[in-house]
Amino acid sequence: MIKDIYTNTKYKDALFRFIFNNPYDLLSLYNAVNNTNYSNIDSLEITTLEDIVYLSYKNDVSFLFGHQMNLYEHQSSYNPNMPVRGLIYFAELYSGYIQKNKLDVYSTKQINLPVPRYIIFYNGTKNEPEKKELRLSECFKYSAQQSDELEQKEMKPCLELTATMLNINIGNNEELMKKCNKLYQYSEFVRLVRKHLKKCDINAAINLAIDEAISNNILKDILQKQRAEVCRMILTEYNEELHMKNERKIAIEEGYKEGYDSGYDSGFGKAVDEMIDGFIKDGETKEQIIEKLISYFKMDKEKAKEYFDKHVI
């Protein structure tokens, strides 16, 4: 198994990762995704990356099975940059595989590597299709002249990576949910938390959701034995997200105040910069950020582009 390389150990596993690091449930999920019926967990080797020095995140679940290198990621918000993250993860995973199996990449004989499979399980609140493919090549941008030249020569980027995003919100991919009951239970529990959040604070919402879930046999085995741990995991995820939103709101408010105190332009500019920085950290694309600047600050598209371009230089 690949060695631990994650420097930030402050936060433990998210609930999805916590559930599917169990090999029985992970094999059930694999069978559901691939429409197979394997039962031998001894053939499954979990290779999840615990630590990547130069990243502020770790992957959710990765494992070897049937000569496939499977990478399963959970996302509670849409992120078009998942193929880029997948590229980094797979590079680490294959490096570990090559070292562990003592493969010689300098040999004149072809080495054999497991086939990569990249699945993203999405349960955000933004409407997304049941199935969507995200490609690494969509990140590669050329000038208009370069695009024309490459099209004429039928040249394609030398790198490609395809991630399959599956919507696991209740009501989506029902066949998948039927095949993997634990995935259905996870999605139903998330729905319960969101339902109670509409009526009460996060602590009360989590406890009400857990009580309702247990009474309906939803993740009952986990929630009864590890209730406190589950509460902590959800609170950690929720508080991180809330903190980022609050920081962004404070930055905007301080920017406006500074604008009135020392000149509108400088304060306004600070607010815009802080918001752009937050959106970039959230994995938003340039186009998405520009649209949000237009919406939040009531500026025209050219001005929004100008602010973005100044920020990223």
The token pair that represents 106 in the structure block: 């300098």
pLDDT of residue 201: 86
Q: In this structure, what are the phi and psi dihedrals at residue 216, rounded to the nearest 5 degrees?
A: -110, 20
| pLDDT band of 189, cuts 50, 70, 90 | very high
Give the total residue count for the chain: 313
Classify 121 as helix, strand or coil.
strand
Q: How far apart are the first and last CA of the chain?
A: 40
Distance CA 17, CA 60 (A): 5
**Residue 229 CB neighbours (<10 A):** 15
pLDDT score at 193: 93
Distance between CA 213 and CA 313 in Å, rounded? 49
**pLDDT for res 148:** 64
- Confidence class of residue 146 from pLDDT cuts 50, 70 and 90? low
Residue 53 has pLDDT above 60, yes or no: no
The pLDDT of residue 305 is above 80:
yes
Q: What is the CA radius of gyration of the chain?
A: 22
Strand extents, DSSP E, 13-59 = 45-46
Residue 240: HSE in the Cβ half-sphere, 13 Å Cα cutoff: 13
Beta-bridged to residue 116, according to DSSP, are 69
| DSSP at 143 | -
- Count CB-CB contacts under 10 A for residue 5: 15
pLDDT for 153 equals 63
Residues 230, 186 contacting (CB under 8 angstroms): no
How confident is the model over 250-271, as a mean pLDDT? 54
The answer to whether the CB of 183 falls within 8 A of the CB of 219 is no
At 40, list the tokens.
């031998």
Residue 53 to residues 21, 39, 96, 98, 254: CA-CA distances in angstroms? Answer: 22, 35, 15, 20, 33
Looking from the CA of 142 toward its CB, the CA atoms found within 13 Å total 12
CA–CA separation, 20 and 111 (whole Å)? 31
> What's the CA gap between 65 and 117, in Å, rounded?
11
Question: Does the pLDDT value for residue 13 go beyond 80?
Answer: no
Count of C-beta atoms within a 10 Å radius of residue 181: 12
> What is the number of other CB atoms lying within 10 angstroms of the CB of residue 269?
17
In this prediction, residue 232 carries a pLDDT of 83
45 vs 4: which has the higher pLDDT: 45
Q: What average pLDDT does the structure give for the chain?
A: 82
pLDDT at 245: 56
Q: Answer whether 32's CB lies under 8 Å from 184's CB.
A: no
Is the pLDDT at 144 greater than 80, yes or no?
no
Q: Which helix (H) or strand (E) holds 120?
A: strand 115-122
Block residue for tokens 């290779």: 47
